[in-house]
Chains A and B, each alone.
Chain A
């Protein structure tokens, strides 16, 4: 009684499914062609967009030659050059507005140390630093500024940043030349310690 349905089930399985087994069937040639084309496209893509895998080639540039072709010349404009030196060295304390920070860093904008005939004192402060009490625009400040003579290695940069400070934020003072910067730098070569306000006030404002 129960044997009948079992038989039908067995039969059905045989009719519908083949026994799985391992066969060797040829890979379609078309697949090889597609893979080869893909690989070719990939190589071409890298060839045009990878910049020759050069470490100096990024983003919109396509090759090393292209990058070296668009290098800007170093700016001859001391205000632009000075702005960059200012941004990298002076800005954290004296701020981009040149106003400094109340109670901590004296202002450069409208300062009576900046708006004088010559850059002698400013150059010395930047080269060797300034410590001890100092009076700026009638207000007394105490603090210490380190010297940046070693950091600003080139006389052009030193002159540029002085020129920038002396002609920004409403300041109107003379330009500092690289020759002046070089002269003051050589004079203060063996000083090695920061200036104090009275010492500087004894010096002339102009580079001599």
Chain B
């Protein structure tokens, strides 16, 4: 050990390099973000969580939800839908161009698209195709727009319309991204499952609403008590084997309400510059059972 200074310097360099890579650079890159005006909605995003949802964040931590649920949607690619936004004055020319762009369209379909613009011409094409079609319509009087659509396994599962980015976590302290997907991702759960009562039932006993759920029940977030003069309006509507005994009712504690409020606040509904997606109509979840399909 007569090389002490050399050893010290090499360890220092190794530590400094990893500190720069893992701490300093990310901080320089993402550290000083602030809310941003999203022009599509004319408001700043993200908004700070308010009311009992703030407390719900703590309940979420305490209940250990983060050990089975992530809050990060990933995206592996993107495709485009091409929309004829304006047919212009030369409808015959534009109709033939529409057919040129999408060879599968019959004369009648192409004419319909031109007559009812804005209408989608082509779905799910690459950026190159977009550019070539934009070139096709140049100087024709017709206007085409390309709408971007994120793709990837998470997005196919309906876990969110786009990937999550650093900005989304601006007001999370600490950020609860999670790393294990034993249950579904929750980054956009407030949009998928916007029903407060569903969440309360699901927390009291997941199998009341999702038959094959593997999630543990959280009965300690609820109080089973005797019905007083009249049944409480907050009592859970439990049926069958999950119903409490005769004369008893199940009431959510403030913690349960806070947790549900927090879950409902988890929503991705704005495109941001770094994760663009085109607005699509809100589609309620048709089949809630599919929520619990385990992720691979």
Chain A residues within 8 Å of B, Cβ to Cβ: 22, 53-61, 67-77, 79-81, 83-88, 91-92, 95-97, 101, 103, 151-154, 157
Contact = CB atoms under 8 A, between A and B. Distances in A.
A58 B33 CA distance: 15
Given A60-B76, A76-B85, A152 B42 contact: yes
Closest 8 CB pairs of A and B: A96-B284, A153-B42, A83-B281, A154-B42, A84-B279, A56-B274, A72-B278, A87-B282
B271 A72 contact: yes
Interface in B202-216: none
B163 interface: yes
B276 A70 contact: yes
A164 B164 CA distance: 27
A58 B165 contact: yes
A58 B29 contact: no
B41 A97 contact: no
Contacts of A73: 145
A79 B279 CA distance: 10
Contacts of A76: 85, 118
A59 B74 contact: yes
B282 A83 contact: yes
Nearest to A83: B281
Given A59-B75, A59-B163, A95 B194 contact: yes
A80 B76 CA distance: 25
A85 B40 CA distance: 9
Interface of B: 2, 25, 29-30, 33, 39-43, 74-78, 80, 85, 118, 127, 145-148, 163, 165-166, 191, 194-196, 233, 264, 267, 269-271, 273-284
16 contacts: A55-B166, A56-B273, A60-B76, A70-B127, A70-B146, A71-B273, A73-B145, A74-B39, A76-B118, A79-B281, A80-B279, A81-B279, A83-B280, A84-B282, A88-B269, A95-B194
B228 to A, nearest CB: 19
Contacts of A55: 29-30, 33, 166, 274
Contacts of A75: 40, 278-279
Contacts of A80: 278-281
A95 B145 contact: no
Contacts of B118: 76-77
A84 B41 contact: yes
Given A55-B33, A59-B163, A70-B78, A96 B274 contact: no
A92 B118 CA distance: 30
A75 B39 CA distance: 11
A103 to B, nearest CB: 8
A157 to B, nearest CB: 6
Contacts of B271: 72
Contacts of B39: 74
Contacts of A92: 194, 264
A1 B92 CA distance: 119
Contact of A86 (B147, B264, B282): B282
Contacts of A103: 233
A103 B233 CA distance: 10
A164 B31 CA distance: 38
A96 B74 CA distance: 25
Contacts of A71: 148, 273, 276
Contacts of A61: 274
A68 B273 CA distance: 8
Given A59-B75, A60-B78, A87 B276 contact: no
Given A60-B75, A84-B41, A153-B42, A96 B85 contact: no
B77 A60 contact: yes
A14 B38 CA distance: 80
Given A59-B74, A88-B41, A72 B33 contact: no
Contacts of B276: 67, 70-72
A144 to B, nearest CB: 16
Contact of A84 (B40, B146, B264): B40
Nearest to B166: A55
A70 B275 CA distance: 10
